[in-house]
């Protein structure tokens, strides 16, 4: 796929507990993005410390880490044109439609191609990324 990039998305515990996994996947599918990896995981303290390393000195870090360990999360890798563009919270977006509070914002998405590469490497082994022909685009 021309101009394709990958992004890392994690559906946080509140999204899993509110049974929104299918709805969130549907949003990415309807945009035409391709799912290339997905797993349900109980994130470890070490994984979360590495994932959120830039936030470790922020006053909310301990609460964020506790929240992210409070239940399973769904980690995914999506591929497509401009897939790392951050979404805003307007109606029709995942945050706009499903988030209840800033601290319970349903998903995390990589904010750049570089961040996506790092985060994908933390959460997935290379052999877990599935490469298959995309029949949507020529």
Structure tokens at 49: 């410390």
Q: In the chain, where are the structural domains located? A: 6-128
Cα dihedral: 61, 24, 7, 16 (round 10)? 40
Q: What digits encode the pLDDT tens for the residues 69-127?
A: 999 999 999 998 888 765 444 545 554 455 544 455 678 888 889 999 999 999 999 99
Burial 74-89 (b: 16+ CB within 10 A, else e): bbbbbbbeebbeeeee
Catalytic residues, which ones?
A: 108
SS (H, E, C) 3-30: CEEEEEEEECHHHHHCCCHHHHHHHHHH
Look-up of token digits 């790392």? 84
Task: Report the predicted TM-score, pTM, of the whole model to 2 decimal places.
Answer: 0.84
Q: Domain 6-128, what fold? A: Alpha-Beta Plaits (3.30.70)
Q: What digits encode the pLDDT tens for the residues 20-55?
A: 999 999 988 888 889 999 999 999 999 999 999 998
CA Rg value for the chain: 15
């Amino acid at each position: 796929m021309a101009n394709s990039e990958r992004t890392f998305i994690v559906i946080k515990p509140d999204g899993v507990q509110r049974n929104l996994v299918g709805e969130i996947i549907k949003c990415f599918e309807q945009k035409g993005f391709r799912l290339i990896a997905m797993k349900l995981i109980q994130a470890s303290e070490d994984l979360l410390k590495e994932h959120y390393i830039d936030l470790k000195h922020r006053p909310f870090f301990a609460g964020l880490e506790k929240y992210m360990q409070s239940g399973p999360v769904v980690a995914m890798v999506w591929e497509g044109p401009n897939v790392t563009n951050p979404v805003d919270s307007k109606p029709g977006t995942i945050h706009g439609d499903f988030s209840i509070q800033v601290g319970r914002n349903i998903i995390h998405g990589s904010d750049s191609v570089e961040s996506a590469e790092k985060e994908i490497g933390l959460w997935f082994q290379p052999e877990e990324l599935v490469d298959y022909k995309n029949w949507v685009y020529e």
